[in-house]
Amino acid sequence: MSEVREHVREKYAEAARQVGGSGCGCGSGGCCVVGTSDTDLLYGDLAVEVPEAAAQASLGCGNPVAVAELRDGEVVLDLGSGGGIDVILSARRVGPDGLAYGLDMTDEMLDLARRNAADADVTNVEFLKGYIEDVPLPDRSVDVIISNCVINLSADKPKVFEEMVRVLRGGGRLGISDIVAGDDLTPAQRAERGSWVGCIAGALSFGEYEAELRRAGFVDVGLTPTEEVADGIFSAIVRATKPFIERS
């Protein structure tokens, strides 16, 4: 797992450095930019709400803010927050009584995100350094978890799902964009279609994704494909809810 994590960390650190140096994001190194990588297409009119550097650093495959249906006063956690676009948009939607956390393992991305939040003049945000497999927040402290093309990068997805359940309050929900493989593709076939850091080799199948979420304790699980980004590989919307009464 550490080898995969370090490879991903370095790719995203380079992406942040390129944005900070007026580059174009991942460049030739490759990052999670499968599918629609045009921020304007993914976010529409929402893109104008964030600084240009936050939009340039958006390396996701969807718009989890639109999926999450955020409400005033909620606490939101973005797993793998990158340059901060989804945290900034979330902070505006939950309002001054709410809070948006961004979690990232890459110092360069965290620095960029903090600058972007300051430029956007949003103060109800907090960026945390850490791993999505080991979230540095207390139990039952979050109302909503979002993520944009990041969970597929983890080498220990069951642990990620367990952490989601742990930090969510009862009735809390997921609003995630991710890369998911068709159920007919083997892990070897997924690897043939793209690299791990490119968000394909590590993708779960639809069936695996749902099964792992349910095993962790989620209910009302739903995965909806939105775009085929490679043969049998899809960007998808993932929704699920933590029950009010937890399993013993």
Backbone angles phi, psi at 149, to 5 degrees: 60, 45
Angle at 107 between CA 121 and CA 165, to 5 degrees: 80
- What fold is seen in the domain 2-241? Rossmann fold (3.40.50)
Cα–Cα nearest to 110, from 98, 101, 97:
101
| Side chain identity, residue 129 | K
pTM for the structure as a whole:
0.87
Q: Which residues of the chain have pLDDT under 50?
A: 22-31, 33-37, 196-197
Q: How far apart are CA 87 and CA 167, in angstroms?
A: 17
pLDDT of residue 17: 75
How does pLDDT run across 48-81, given as a tens digit for each residue?
778 777 766 666 778 899 889 999 999 999 999 9
Residue showing tokens 């944009």: 148
Q: Could you report the per-residue pLDDT of 86-104, keeping only the tens digit for each?
A: 999 999 999 999 999 999 9
Tell me if 1 sits within 8 A of 8, measured CB to CB.
no
